[in-house]
Amino acid sequence: MKKWTLLLLICSIAMLGFSAGTAGAEDKKIKAGFIYVGPVGDYGFSHAHDLGRKFAEEKLDWLETVYVESVSEADSDRIIDRLVQQQKCDVVFTNSFGFMDSTIKAGERYPDKIFMHCSGFKRSDNVGTYFGDLYQMYYLNGIMAGALTQTNKIGYVAAFPIPELIRHIDAYALGIKAVNPDAKVHVKWIYAWYGPDKAREAAESLIAEGCDTLAFTEDTPAVIEVGQEHTEKGKQIYTFSHYSAMQPYGEDSVVSGQFMNWGGMYVKILEDIQAGNWTNEDIWWLAKEGAAILGGNETDPINPKFVDDLKQAMVQTEEFGEISAYDLVMTRYDQMKQGVDVFDPFVGPISDNKGNLQIPAGERASKDDLLSIMYYVDNVEGTIPQ
Amino acid sequence: MIHITSTDRYRITRWRVVMTNILSLAAGLVVISFIFMIAGVNPLFAISEIFQGSFGSVYGFKETVTKAIPLILIGAGLTLAFRAKFWNIGAEGQLLMGAIFATWTGLTFGDTLPSWGIIPLMFAAGFLGGALWGIIPAILKIRYAINEVISTLMLNYICAHILTMLIVGPWKGGTRFGFPGTDTLPEAAILSVIPGSRIHYVTLILALACAAILTMIIYWTRFGYEARVVGENPEAGKYAGIDFLKTTLILMAISGGLAGMAGVGEVAGIHQYLGYPDSMSSGYGFTAIIVAWLAKLNPLYTVISGLFFAGILVGGDAIQISLGLPAATVNIVNGTLLIFLIMGDYFLNHKISITFSTP
């Protein structure tokens, strides 16, 4: 009797399994987990990713998402485990460079799941990488900074000394150099992605040192708030917003800036996974793919308050002769949208600030060069912390 | 008129300790329930999710144990220091110093020595690192009367900066493409884990053993007695001829050393390389202070309080993931529970009587 019950039980379980299997094939749902390093309200990197997540969830009706914010690197293994084991995620997006090793290890633990790591360089069979880079927009910001600065001292508040940041600082400096070879870039490192207090301190000290123009990589509008405060007190400080539309925090200070649109990339990755076309190939999107966008808010590439100033600022260029800074920005932006082969900031001759030629005349830096760049170009002051 | 008077309670039974803690926890959960209700979540569902996420599922329990390992090790060491009224707030730095020493050992000898040789060596190095970092404030206090709360706290930051300097400078790994961090430790220098989990069992066994041995030291040895006298009655200690410097040095070497060993576990068991201080420890050195306190400064009880606290931290994930509440909610819940547990202490040590009288 007992044997029969057992047999019946096994049969019913098997049938259940089959029916579940066929139901899944008809309507393949995908559940994606997102792990953010900062809070989604940070107005920076995590915020931008979360907008992308929401965009994808709205667009794809077979997609379900779950996210975890403010995950420290020490805890990332655990959170990945939880998303896979408890939340049954099919795909996990890990959105900070520091999650790289955890993501690779998770790929080994869960060979039948897909992992996508943002900004890293390690891949495996089921771990891919993706990134959208803003260096082109930093170059355009640099053109505006170089045209507007009165003191020829331009500040940069930077998070961590890693290639991504160096690339942004260098692109910014190259944009400045294109219109104002006398201006120098001064960098302050704060060692935090999310550190409004430190960013504020760094911005204040750059202004105290004579900088009148500030750009930054940090996930809050702290630098912009500092610029706005000084501007309201009568000392014009120009700032450039980073990663989200931060212009509302400094209508009189923010000239332009850049933000990232992750939505399109997430939709593409998830559609590829759904269709079974996914590969672990690195995804690297720029202005051409519509990932990198110029501006301090969603509507104006340049704050209308500063458009006239930029139109009046005439600069000399080899390619276009005498041209207004405004036209130069717009022309370059247009070229960037056509592709890196039409225009790219990192075309030689480019020398580092120790006098070594890094990119020979006429050559364009490869993606690998850009991903591992660790030198300041020649109009940046100081040395990279070693 | 209502009169509320509070008198000191002298006899505290074990039963009363347990009941006070359970009641404090329950009271905390009631307050948290209101917070969940405001956020629009059914509190019963929320609380069950939290405990499901930490103790009620195999997965959650494995993670709770993983997180409890450093908390037990550090907490047990802190009970010794706190008993001598040496307020060691520097376990975080002692943990990092242990991780630094162990990483150096692992990277230097990991390729030549077998696992059974290198692992004990790393733990010894980690103990040494933590102990050295713990001895500094001990000397400063006994010799120069420098407040140890300040010195231990500040040494945390110094150690974090030393670590950062090492990983962006001389120790930066060749395999990291210019990113800060050492190379991954050699295979032999990595602690093995219980399959399907992240529990590095060597450190777990060490933690349990240390908690047991420390209990014996505190209650059964002359040194343990001296440590307690130093804390509770220094005047009597002086007359009895207790060498304050020696006693304090030894107890801080143990307290710091255990934190250093926790650092070895984190670097060799979890991360397998040395990176930024924030990513090596998520504040274990500070959390362990509460662990030691909840254990009523009994090293053996840190096993329970360490597990409990790890559970709260791990269960906090559920608040975000299953309930979709912001990460800050986790801190609110943990903070509320803590406040109630600490408030419970007052009722444990004081007898409150309320009397009504007519004027």
Q: Say what the pLDDT of residue B64 is.
A: 93
Name the B residues in 17-56 with CB < 8 Å from any A CB.
Answer: 53
Give the pLDDT score at B282. Answer: 83
- Please, what sign has the CA dihedral across residues B59, B62, B63, B64? positive
pLDDT band at A386 (very low <50, low <70, confident <90, very high): low
Partner-chain residue, chosen from B281, B314, B320, that has the shortest CB–CB distance to A68: B320
pLDDT at A17 over 70: no
What sections of B197-300 are H helices per DSSP? 201-220, 222-232, 234-239, 244-265, 277-280, 284-294
Residue A20 reports pLDDT greater than 50: no
Interface probe, candidates A31, A35, A57, A85, chain B, greatest B C-beta count within 10 A: A85
Residues A117, A170 within the same domain = no
Closest residue on chain B to A74 (Cα): B279
Give the pLDDT confidence score for residue A316 in this predicted structure.
87
Same domain, A230 and A312: yes
Q: What is the 3-state secondary structure (H, E, C) of A1-37?
A: CHHHHHHHHHHHHHHHHHHHHHHHHHCCCEEEEEECC
Same domain for A142 and A54?
A: no
pLDDT at B230: 87
pLDDT, block means (10 residues), chain B with 359 residues = 81 83 90 90 88 86 94 97 94 97 96 94 97 96 93 96 91 77 92 90 96 94 90 85 90 97 95 88 90 90 93 84 81 85 84 79
Q: Is A66's CB within 8 Å of B168's CB?
A: no
Same domain, A71 and A216: no
Q: Are residues A88 and A156 in the same domain?
A: no
Lowest mean pLDDT among A23-27, A112-116, B165-169, B294-298: A23-27
State the pLDDT at residue A15. Answer: 45
Is the link from the previous residue into A349 a cis peptide, with omega within 30 of 0? Answer: yes
The model's confidence at residue A25, banded by pLDDT at 50, 70 and 90, is: very low
The pLDDT value given to residue B201: 95
Which chain A residues are closer than 8 Å to B317 by Cβ? 68, 78-79, 82
Q: Which chain A residue has the Cα nearest residue B196?
A: A109
**Residues A267, A302 within the same domain:** no
Evaluate whether residue A65 is within a structural domain.
Answer: yes
Top-confidence residue, A298 or A60: A60
pLDDT attached to residue B178: 66
Of B53, B168, B321, the CB nearest to A161: B168
pLDDT of res. A307:
95
Sort out which chain A residues have CB atoms less than 8 A from B325's CB and list them.
Answer: none
Range of the domain at A302: 135-259+291-371
Considering only CB atoms, which residues of chain A are within 8 Å of chain B? 39-41, 66, 68-70, 72-75, 77-79, 81-83, 85-87, 97-98, 101, 121, 160-163, 191, 371-372, 374, 385-386
Domain count, chain A: 2
Distance separating alpha carbons of residues B174 and B180, to the nearest angstrom:
10
Lowest mean pLDDT, pick from A231-245, A259-273, B335-349: B335-349
CA B277, B280, B284 angle in degrees (round to 5)? 95
**Domain boundaries along the sequence of chain B:** 68-297
Q: Is there a single domain that holds both residue A174 and residue A119?
A: no
Q: Which of A82, A371, A372 sits opposite B321 (nearest CB)?
A: A82
The residue-averaged pLDDT of A143-169 equals 94
Q: What pLDDT was estimated at residue A64? A: 95
pTM: 0.77
Contact A78 B198 (CB under 8 A): yes
Residue reference for tokens 């420890």: B281
Residues A201, A281, single domain; the answer is no
Residue A4 belongs to some domain of the structure = no
Chain A to chain B Cβ contacts (< 8 Å): 85
Picking from B60, B184, B280, the nearest residue to A74 by CB comes out as B280
Contact B271 A74 (CB under 8 A): yes
The arithmetic mean of pLDDT across residues A194-207, rounded, is 93
Are A244 and A322 in a shared domain?
A: yes
Mean pLDDT, chain A, integer: 90
CATH number of the domain that residue A91 is part of: 3.40.50.2300
Q: How far is CA A348 from the centre of its chain?
A: 24
Give residue A103's Cα distance to chain centre.
Answer: 19
A49 lies in the same domain as A34 = yes
**Cα–Cα distance for residue pair A9/A142, rounded to 1 Å:** 70
Cα B29 off chain centre by: 23
Determine the residue of chain A that is closest to B319 in CA distance: A68
The answer as to whether A62 is a domain residue is yes
Angstrom distance (rounded) from CA B107 to CA A84: 33
Of B63, B326, B328, Cβ closest to residue A78: B63
Q: What is the pLDDT of residue B293?
A: 86
From A24-33, A235-244, A371-380, B202-211, the region with the lowest mean pLDDT: A24-33
Same domain for A349 and A243: yes
- In this complex, which of A70, A83, A386 lies closest to B169 when CB atoms are compared? A386
Is the CA virtual torsion A114, A120, A122, A123 positive or negative?
positive
pLDDT greater than 80 at residue A14: no
Alpha carbon separation from A263 to A57, A113, A136, A269 (Å, rounded) = 9, 22, 19, 10
DSSP A159-205: S--SHHHHHHHHHHHHHHHHH-TT-EEEEEE---SS-HHHHHHHHHH
Residues A240 and A254 in one domain: yes
User: Which DSSP category does A124 fall into?
Assistant: B
A80 compared with A20, residue with greater pLDDT = A80
> In which band, very low, low, confident or very high, does the pLDDT at A5 lie, cut at 50, 70 and 90?
low
Task: Please say if the pLDDT value at position A4 is more than 80.
Answer: no
The interface pTM score, or ipTM, of the predicted complex is 0.71
Tell me the residues of chain B between 171 and 230 that have a Cβ less than 8 Å away from chain A. 172, 177-180, 184, 198
